Amino acid sequence: MFKILKKKILAPKVEMMVIDAPFIARNAKVGNFVVLRLNEKGERIPLTIADSSKKNGTITILFQKVGKTTESLGTLKPGDRILDIAGPLGHATPIARYGRCVLVAGGIGGATLYPVIRALKKAKNSISVIMGARSRDFLIWEDRFKKFSDDLYITTDDGSYGRKGLVTDTLKEVISNKPVALVVAVGPVRMMQAVSELTRPHAIKTLVSLNPLMVEGTGMCGSCRVNIAGKTRFACIEGPEFNGHEVDFKELENRLGFYKKEEETAYKLFKRKRQKK
Ligand code: NAD
């Protein structure tokens, strides 16, 4: 059982939790994720380790309440416990001295880029960050991103803060100004696809973090199959980051919608039960 130590609401339906998990914290590397399960009958969901502290023995997760499991997770308070957290899982992000790096953070998914930005900065790279959100209210961790970036661009779809438009509008400009060695993008699948299409003609190394359906997270069940350069790979043990120019995004999007009906039914039942309480 893993005790929740802190909880904070970051944006509408987006929460952050600091969890007591000393073994995971001791072994966590940049880009790793965990798979958690709330109770014995619960589904397992993958969540990126958005921060960790070896000293305090804690990990930080961010989640968006989009379905039964994440809504249930959101009902827990400091002092409550989560049944299982498996991790750290996945390969670490390759951190090296690349030169100029552009990090594209789309919405809640993008916030999990924070440890990558910090590590790339520590490795003496020049860092440009493009953060995008639907509107100002959905922008998360601007202060943390600012601390480690040389240039920070903010975009909102509705123009309520920063530049009006998508992250890709700004990326076009940023990559045409000066040579870029590496782009890392995390966010909605369509955003990661659009980023990869923009960087392809410039032959810029582009990493995307994939979040396919995962069940056990150790490569045995095969639920997290993704098609990379025509080959089936398992995102949980071979990812979560892959070369964006090799990802079959269409297949990924289809697979993400595979259990949509069941997810909607479970969510409806969950909401009905909560209303009755
Ligand atoms: P969102 O839909 O509000 O999008 C955030 C930003 O991404 C937008 O403001 C826009 O700038 C950009 N964007 C979106 N669609 C685009 C497109 N077609 N082309 C170019 N840019 C586009 O994001 P949200 O509601 O915060 O949702 C977060 C998303 O992140 C979810 O889809 C979730 O599955 C994903 N996510 C991914 C990971 C991961 O590791 N890849 C982790 C957590 C969440």
What residues make up the domain containing 209?
100-256
Is residue 31 domain-shared with residue 118, that is, in the same domain? no
Residues ≥6 apart with Cβ < 8 Å to 75 = none
Is residue 135 domain-shared with residue 9, that is, in the same domain? no
Which residues have any ligand 1 atom within 6 Å of their CB?
48, 106-109, 112, 132-134, 155, 157, 166-168, 186-188, 190-191, 194, 209-211
Is residue 241 domain-shared with residue 183, that is, in the same domain? yes
Task: Give the Cα-Cα-Cα angle 274, 276, 277 (nearest 5 degrees).
Answer: 65
Domain total of the chain: 2
What pLDDT, in 10s, does the model give residues 132-148?
999 999 999 999 999 99
What pLDDT, in 10s, does the model give residues 51-78?
999 999 999 999 999 888 999 999 999 9
Cα of 132 to ligand 1 centre, how many Å? 8
Q: Give pTM, 2 decimals.
A: 0.92
Cα of 264 to ligand 1 centre, how many Å? 20
Q: What is the CATH number of the domain that holds 31?
A: 2.40.30.10
Q: Is residue 265 part of a domain?
A: no
Is residue 229 domain-shared with residue 126, that is, in the same domain? yes
Is residue 204 domain-shared with residue 80, that is, in the same domain? no
* Confidence band, pLDDT 50/70/90 cuts, at residue 182: very high
Q: Is residue 276 part of a domain?
A: no
Is residue 84 domain-shared with residue 213, that is, in the same domain? no
Is residue 73 domain-shared with residue 191, that is, in the same domain? no
Q: Is residue 267 part of a domain?
A: no
Is residue 165 domain-shared with residue 234, that is, in the same domain? yes
Is residue 142 domain-shared with residue 198, that is, in the same domain? yes
Q: What is the CATH number of the domain that holds 132?
A: 3.40.50.80
Is residue 135 domain-shared with residue 238, that is, in the same domain? yes
Q: Is residue 170 part of a domain?
A: yes
* Confidence band, pLDDT 50/70/90 cuts, at residue 109: confident
Q: Is residue 139 part of a domain?
A: yes
Cα of 185 to ligand 1 centre, how many Å? 10
> What is the pLDDT at residue 214?
79
Average pLDDT, the chain: 93
Is residue 123 domain-shared with residue 224, that is, in the same domain? yes
Q: Is residue 269 part of a domain?
A: no
Is residue 115 domain-shared with residue 239, that is, in the same domain? yes
> What is the pLDDT at residue 270?
77
Atom of ligand 1 nearest to the CA of 33: 40
